[in-house]
Amino acid sequence: MYDIEIYQGRGTVEVGSFSLGEDVVMRLLRSLEPRAGHKIFFDNWFSSVDHVVHLKEIGYDCVGTIRQNRLSGCELMQEKELKRFGRGHVDWRVEKSTNVCLVCWYDNKAVTLVSNYVAVEDKDTCRRWDFSKKKYVEIERPAVIKGCNKYMGGVDLADMLIELYRSNLKTRKWCMRIFYYALDSVVVNALLIYRRNCWQSNDKSMPLLKFKTSIACSLGYSDTSRRRPGRPLSLEVEARGSLEKETRKRNVEKEENPRQLYKGSELTTQKPKLTIMPGPYYG
């Protein structure tokens, strides 16, 4: 996760020239360096043809799924028509002046994507399970689908890892829920970086649960001593304090010894004996 924006209701964000979802993308892009070769991926709530054209103008390549009512009049094959040709069939259009491409690809169902830098070529193949044949089959996949699956899969992976061991603490305060979500996101980000480093060094990485447990143990065993308020103690005061502790320790040991009695000029540790003298007998 690189950046995040928390929506707190109507009136909490500025209104731009695009829709609410598209304005979210524009605000999040402020944390990126412009025209640095970044590629942006988003789903159909954040996308439109005009928005993709604008991103190209300001130097961002992008790919996103798009809804059928946002195609700006572009006619693509419907899902029923694509289904007749079978899985892997694709229909696409490119707008020459802006170089924006609309692609409709049929897998289990039709999916429509919009992009300003990649289209159908170069195609590759992907494995899919065929229920009628009861085996895996290879179907064609456009380049725009391949890129979307590769990078949008990172978002899905992060969400999945957060949900596996979410910090579910009962609270009615919304700010605490956001804090727990941010805490889980930090752990997942650290795990992904750790796995990448292990992959580069050919080391075996630990699973998420063990990784999260190791973080908790490290924090539990960390030094939690707090500095005393005021001026720090000098060496002389520290030495005097240690001497007083040693003196108190000797006094405690002395009190635990048996009772010491003086017998004449000699020191003895024997306990005193009780002697009963016979008294007069009255019959």
Alpha-carbon distance of 99 to 251, in angstroms, equals 91
User: Whole-angstrom Cα distance, residue 183 to residue 167?
Assistant: 8
Neighbouring residues of 77: CB distance < 8 A, sequence distance ≥ 6? 91, 104
Pair 126, 137: CB distance under 8 Å: no
- Confidence band for 2, pLDDT divided at 50, 70 and 90: confident
* CA angle, residues 153, 91, 115, in degrees to nearest 5: 45
Tens-place pLDDT, residues 206-227: 899 999 999 888 888 876 666 6
The enclosing H or E element of 111 equals strand 110-115
All structural domains of the chain with their residue ranges: 20-142
Q: Tens of pLDDT along 106-130?
A: 888 889 999 998 888 888 888 888 8
Whole-number Cα distances in Å, 163 to 151, 171, 185, 190, 208: 19, 18, 10, 16, 11
For residues 89 and 109, the answer to whether their CB atoms sit within 8 Å is no
Q: How far is CA 232 from CA 66, 227, 238, in A?
A: 64, 9, 10
Phi and psi at residue 79, to the nearest 5°: -65, -35
Out of 147-151, 242-246, 272-276, give the one with best mean pLDDT: 147-151
Which pLDDT score, from 0 to 100, does residue 31 have? 84
Judged by average pLDDT, the poorest of 23-27, 176-180, 221-225 is 221-225
Whole-number Å distance between alpha carbons of 2 and 28: 9
Span 70-100, pLDDT tens digits: 888 888 888 888 888 888 888 999 888 888 9
User: Between vectors from CA 92 to CA 91 and to CA 94, what angle results, nearest 5°?
Assistant: 165
Cite the DSSP H helix spans in 120-200: 143-164, 174-200
Yes or no: say if 116 and 61 are a contact pair by the CB < 8 Å rule.
Answer: yes
Give the range among 10-19, 27-36, 84-93, 247-256 with minimum mean pLDDT: 247-256
CA angle 192, 196, 197 (to 5 degrees): 120
pTM over 0.85: no
φ/ψ bin of 60: left (φ > 0), alpha (ψ from -120 to 50), beta (otherwise): beta
